[in-house]
Amino acid sequence: MSMIISLQGVVKRYVRGKQQIEVLHKLALEVAGGEFLALMGPSGSGKTTLLNLIAGLDQPTEGEVNVAGERIDRLSGSQLGRWRARHIGFVFQFYNLLPVLTAQENVEVPLLLTHLSASQRKQNARMALELVGLGDRASHKPNELSGGQLQRVSIARALVSDPTLLVCDEPTGDLDRENAEEILKLLQMLNRDQGKTIVMVTHDALAADHASRTLHLDKGHLHGTSARSAA
């Protein structure tokens, strides 16, 4: 199976004041296309840093980062922007939707970077909302939707440009158990039925259970892995 993600010898150091903090130490990781990977670990273990490197939001201090067939640690800021628009769909813990826009307009935002016509953008956004079960809420604004619905809109926005990879940073961290379960099932469905490769950072072991593989990150090192077949 071809690797969508391949990290070799990745080191990430931050400078905070006079201190240099090494967050990731000579890290190696490979993720195959169609995998649903959960990254677990305590706070400060480097989960989000690793996710940011995979998503092209940050650059490693050392090492190689290959994602979707591109060595992204060598790309400039503007090249990374274009690369992200083409390959990455983001799902954030706090949804990060634009409050003034309707659900459909929020989902349309990534498509503004494409050459699609206005009617095509609307149609694609509508389809993405249908896919996450919110076709009837297209004209609702974020303040008219529940937490679970907001996260579904956020997932629709991540999916609408048909990215190679979905990266989810604590997608259920702000939801109650029932809504969290619905979101996780939705991600599972996207992985299983649409073949989407997903990398999800989570604190929640129950959430990680929905992934096909779980990696534990502690103090910048990847510890034991576990793999299961998706439910």
Partner 1 sequence: MKYLILIRAGLWRKKTRTLLTMASIMVAFLLFGLIQGINQDIKKGLGDSSNARLWTASRVGLLSSLPISLLSRIAAVEGVRAIAHVSLFGGYFRDARNAIPAFATNVDQLAVVYPELNISHTQIDAMKSTRAGALVGRFLANEYGWKVGDQIPLGTTLWRNVDGRNSWTFNIVGIFDADPKYARNSLGGSLWLNYDYWDEARLFDRHHVHQFIIRIDNPAHATAIASQIDRLFANSSDETRTQTESAAIQSQLESLADVDFIANAMVGAVMFTLLFLTANTMMQSVRERIPELAVLRTLGFSGGAVCALVLVESALLCLIAAIIGLILSAVAIEMVGTSLGTTVLPPVVVIVGLVIAAVLAIVSGLLPAVRAQRLNIVDALAAR
Q: Tokens 């201090």 label which residue?
A: 61
Q: Which is nearer to partner 1, 25 or 86 (CB)?
A: 86
Can you say whether the dihedral through the CA atoms of 11, 3, 170, 86 is positive or negative?
positive
Q: Which is nearer to partner 1, 48 or 202 (CB)?
A: 48
* Burial class, 181, CB count within 10 angstroms (exposed 0-12 / middle 13-18 / buried 19+): middle
Q: Which is nearer to partner 1, 14 or 133 (CB)?
A: 14
Are 5 and 199 a contacting pair, CB within 8 Å? yes
Query: Rounded to the nearest whole angstrom, what is the least distance from the CB of residue 52 to partner 1 in the complex?
Result: 5
Question: What is the contact surface with partner 1 in residues (CB under 8 A)?
Answer: 48, 52, 55, 57-58, 77-78, 81-82, 84-86, 90, 92, 96, 98-101, 105, 108-110, 112-113, 118, 121
Query: Rounded to the nearest whole angstrom, what is the least distance from the CB of residue 204 to partner 1 in the complex?
Result: 20
- Name the phi and psi angles at 99, rounded to 5: -65, -25
Query: Rounded to the nearest whole angstrom, what is the least distance from the CB of residue 21 to partner 1 in the complex?
Result: 14
Q: Which is nearer to partner 1, 91 or 132 (CB)?
A: 91
Are 150 and 182 a contacting pair, CB within 8 Å? no
Query: Rounded to the nearest whole angstrom, what is the least distance from the CB of residue 212 to partner 1 in the complex?
Result: 25
Gap between the terminal Cα atoms of the chain = 21
Q: Report how far residue 6's alpha carbon sits from residue 8's, in angstroms, rounded to the nearest whole number.
A: 7
Query: Rounded to the nearest whole angstrom, what is the least distance from the CB of residue 18 to partner 1 in the complex?
Result: 18
Q: Which is nearer to partner 1, 52 or 61 (CB)?
A: 52
